[in-house]
Amino acid sequence: MIRATTILRRLRKFFLGTLMVFAGLALLGASYQQVGQALDRRAVHAPGHLVTVDNVSMHLYCTGKGGPTVILEAGAFGFAQAWAWIQPRVAEHTHVCSYDRAGLGWSEDAEHHDGVAAAKRLHALLRNAGEPGPYVLVGHSLGGALIRIFATHYPDDVVALGFIEPSHPDQLERFPPEAREAHKRVVRVLSFATTLTYVGLLRLVNPLGRLHAGLPADDYRAGCMFTSAAPHVRASQKEFAAWASTMAAARANLSLGERPLVVVGGTEPMEGMTHDIFALNHQLHGEIAGLSKYGRHVTIEGASHMSLLTRQEHAEQVATLLNELVDNLAR
């Protein structure tokens, strides 16, 4: 019969061996992460420049000439280079700026990540960079709520708005209950995902980077670099966690008056979205168009939530609509 001390000794060896295997894998994963990030940062560079806002460096990228200036506000997990197909087309028409919110892309992190804080930082960023209004605000997804908040706080600076597959402040309340549960899961998973970045698992699996597949090669690589790094994932988690306060601030925007406005949607649901939710989402987009006397709701055939940015032919149609929005201001 095996003695108890022998069993304990064997168990200790087993657990110690297992711990060493996990430690070795973690070390290997951490090396993979660090080397990968270093290679990415040698290969891709910030297209714009850094501007200091409240002791935080923020990345701003402006191209084109003329006015009014078009400001591009990315959605969740987004970054300035997500507009890589759209910004050059708009720059042929007028002055246009994209940027990275605090903690995202090339920008340093800041304390708060709710929509009001984001709008105030954007206003300060444009002021400090010497980019005066008036502005045509364009927001994708979560960015749609953020530009409504900006318009509420700085109404004299906003002359027109473009919404691309925008988030509606009431969507979680009006979608089926499983949508609210899914949102809560995203917040929890992103908290854990930040830890996974340190051992290279997000880089290896690339679940967030793939959202931007279809962008030009360098911009897609930048997106994969950002979305597999702790600062970007952590800031994204904080934006999702601040959803309720952000949407409350967007909900306070009851009207956009007589400003020219276009809401652009696709005809295809995003992955995992039921047809019922897709139909309701289309209805909510129509409500956003109704915020202005001169609001339009346009759909692009075959497009989906992300392809409006990442698929060149869809993005170019979006850019055409935005250029028409700018032209309407001169009439």
Evaluate whether residue 79 is within a structural domain: yes
Evaluate whether residue 117 is within a structural domain: yes
**Pairing assessment for the beta strands 295-300 and 261-266 based on DSSP bridges:** parallel
Evaluate whether residue 129 is within a structural domain: yes
Residues of the chain with pLDDT under 70: 1-32, 35, 331
For helices 4-43 and 217-226, the axis angle rounded to 10 degrees is: 140
Q: Which residue has the tokens 């949607």?
A: 265
Residue 127's pLDDT is: 97
- Where residue 173 sits, what CATH number does that domain have? 3.40.50.1820
Evaluate whether residue 169 is within a structural domain: yes
Residue 27's pLDDT is: 56
Over residues 274-311, the pLDDT tens digits come to 888 899 999 999 999 999 999 999 999 999 999 999 99
Tell me the three state secondary structure of residue 98: strand
Residue 29's pLDDT is: 53
Evaluate whether residue 26 is within a structural domain: no
- The alpha-helical segments, DSSP class H, found in 1-107 are 4-43, 86-91
Question: What does the DSSP 8-state code read for residue 292?
Answer: B
Give the structural domain span for 102.
49-329
Over residues 217-252, the pLDDT tens digits come to 999 999 999 999 999 999 999 999 999 999 999 999
- Count how many domains the chain has: 1
Residue pair 77/211 in contact (Cβ under 8 Å)? The answer is yes
Q: What DSSP letter does each residue of 143-206 carry, written as one string? A: HHHHHHHHHHH-GGGEEEEEEESPPPTTHHHHS-HHHHHHHHHHHHHHHHHHHHHHTTHHHHH-
Evaluate whether residue 11 is within a structural domain: no
Evaluate whether residue 58 is within a structural domain: yes
